[in-house]
Amino acid sequence: MRRLPPRSLRGQLTVGLVVLLALACFAVGVTTTLVLRNFLMGRLDEQLSASGGRFAASLEHEARPDADNRPDTRGQAEETFGARLLDDTVTRAAVVDDAVDRPLTLTPEDRRALTGTPVDGSGHSIRLSGLGKYRVTAVRGDDRDILITGLPLHPVEETVHRLEAVEAVLFGAALVATGIAGAAWVRISLRPLQKVTAHAAEVAGLPLASGEIAMPDPLSDTDPRTEVGQVGTALNHMLGHVEDALTRRQTVEERLRRFAADASHELRTPVSNIRGHAELALRHRGPVPAEVRHALERIDNESLRMTRLVDDLLLLARLDAGRPLEHEPVDLTLLILDATDDARAAGPGHHWLLDLPEEPVTVTGDAHRLQQAIGNLLVNARTHTPTGTDVTIALTEEQGTVLVDVSDNGPGIPEEIQPDVFGRFVRADHARSRSTGSTGLGLAIVHAVVTAHGGTATVTSRPGHTTFRITLPA
């Protein structure tokens, strides 16, 4: 079953107003119709009582040629009905037509309706097949007979139907006018709320996740005596707290970036010195104990790893600071070929597959940084998948964008790690085996480099299939 789409507050208020007015109009219409019908029925009953049953009493004898014995129609309205019952049998029935009586032929249903009329002098409604609905009253005659006199109900029904038609037209016009006027009035009344909504939408459109944010000015219409004013006041307080939190976060991030840049810059010299001394000691021609040589080799390897870490931290610090990159034509096809050759040499146990277009694909950017980003993706695939894994590098160009996909059929990335996989120092060691150390900055550099080029980096992964995608402007 399809659910109806939620209506706006303005629509709900307008519809509610029209529905309430419709209910009020319906109640008024029903009440006036019933009152008018009861009034007209009462007048009809009074006419029946005033007639005294003279016309029905004159039907006691059969009609004769002598005029003195004809039914008495004097003072009787047109279509007045009369009937005489004796021993629950209708002996005669007639109706006044052009001031004379007109005998009627009654059906069995008509006779049952007449014999079932209570003899209490009150008005009762029946239907006669040849005449329609009638209001009748039954009284006892002098000869133990029952005299029934009736008047047609169609004048009453016509009057009631005319009133219903007039009310339907008037109430319909009133509902349409109220709907239009109500919608305009609600729109005017909700203008302050629309300002609050626009203000909140403006804040929602700001990139609050990163960077220094300039919050919009607070709302001015915050009258605490109105509900909208109370909402505006609460929104201003909330945005004030958000602005304070963002300012503090930005201050902390700037300090951390400065610290990372300064620390990385200061570490480059001592790390280079350590590595240089280790290499110098390893080149010593004299005999060096095996334990010492092993320690020197470990110092050299760790200093090389630390050098890479320092370089990665410096690169991220420069990208965070918005350092400009080179903007030159870059042949991505050539970059992918070179990066794949390097990956094939470093990981001969993997199967490296290429899916490249026939024509070279060129973008504008920094060739060195783009090569580093693509290389990091290949290193990531080689490092976190077992030997024998198929790794496919695909390059496509469509609708003004260039797509670089690096896919593998390895064990996949845990679902809880995927939203933060491009974060710094994020690892999924518990799900993807590693044979070498990792700083946890490779994918962070990929994301930073691609973002600096105006592109995006995404990942989709499930057991047996993982794809990292780089999207760049063509």
pLDDT at 163: 92
pLDDT at 353: 92
pLDDT at 428: 60
Q: What CATH number has the domain spanning 11-159?
A: 3.30.450
pLDDT tens for residues 350-396? 999 999 988 888 899 888 889 888 998 998 889 888 999 999 999 99
pLDDT at 210: 65
- How many CB atoms lie under 10 A from the CB of residue 387? 12
pLDDT at 444: 84
Contact 388, 350 (CB under 8 A): yes
Contact 251, 278 (CB under 8 A): no
Q: Which residues of 442-452 are buried (b: 16+ CB within 10 A; e: fewer)?
A: bbbbbbbbbeb
pLDDT at 439: 63
Tell me how far apart the alpha carbons of residues 321 and 323 are, in angstroms, rounded to a whole number: 6
Contact 156, 137 (CB under 8 A): no
Distance of CA 154 to the CA centre of its chain: 54
pLDDT at 322: 65
81-86 and 390-398 beta bridge pairing:
unpaired
The class (CATH top level) of 196-323 is mainly alpha
pLDDT at 469: 92
Tell me how far apart the alpha carbons of residues 365 and 18 are, in angstroms, rounded to a whole number: 62
Six-digit token string for 56: 């029905």
pLDDT at 407: 93
Digit-by-digit pLDDT tens for the chain (474 residues) are: 455 555 677 788 888 888 999 999 999 999 999 999 999 998 988 888 877 677 777 776 554 444 445 556 656 777 888 888 888 888 888 888 765 557 778 888 988 888 888 988 888 888 888 788 999 988 888 777 888 888 898 889 999 999 999 999 999 999 999 889 888 888 887 777 777 777 777 777 777 766 666 777 777 767 777 777 788 788 788 878 877 887 787 776 677 667 666 666 666 677 777 777 777 777 777 777 778 778 877 887 777 777 777 776 767 776 666 667 788 998 999 999 999 998 898 889 999 999 998 888 889 988 888 988 899 899 888 988 899 999 999 999 888 899 999 999 989 888 888 888 887 777 665 444 444 455 677 888 888 888 888 899 999 999 989 999 999 988
Q: Which three-class secondary structure string do you get for the chain?
A: CCCCCCCCHHHHHHHHHHHHHHHHHHHHHHHHHHHHHHHHHHHHHHHHHHHCCHHHHHHHCCCCCCHHHCCCCCCCCCCCEEEEEECCEEEEEEEEECCEEEECCCCHHHHHHHHCCCCCCCCEEEEECCCEEEEEEEEECCCCCEEEEEEECHHHHHHHHHHHHHHHHHHHHHHHHHHHHHHHHHHHHCHHHHHHHHHHHHHHCCCCCCCCCCCCCCCCCCCCCCHHHHHHHHHHHHHHHHHHHHHHHHHHHHHHHHHHHHHHHHHHHHHHHHHHHHHHHHCCCCCCCHHHHHHHHHHHHHHHHHHHHHHHHHHHHHHHCCCCCCCEEEEHHHHHHHHHHHHHHHCCCCEEEEECCCCCCEEEECHHHHHHHHHHHHHHHHHCCCCCCEEEEEEEEECCEEEEEEEECCCCCCCCCHHHCCCCCCCCCCCCCCCCCCCCCHHHHHHHHHHHCCCEEEEEEECCEEEEEEEEEC
pLDDT tens for residues 107-140? 889 888 888 889 888 888 888 887 889 999 888 8
pLDDT at 438: 58
Q: Which fold is adopted by the domain 328-473?
A: Heat Shock Protein 90 (3.30.565)
Which among 135, 101, 93 has a CA at the least distance from the CA of 117?
135
User: Domain limits of the chain?
Assistant: 11-159, 196-323, 328-473
pLDDT at 414: 87
Contact 69, 61 (CB under 8 A): yes
pLDDT at 432: 43
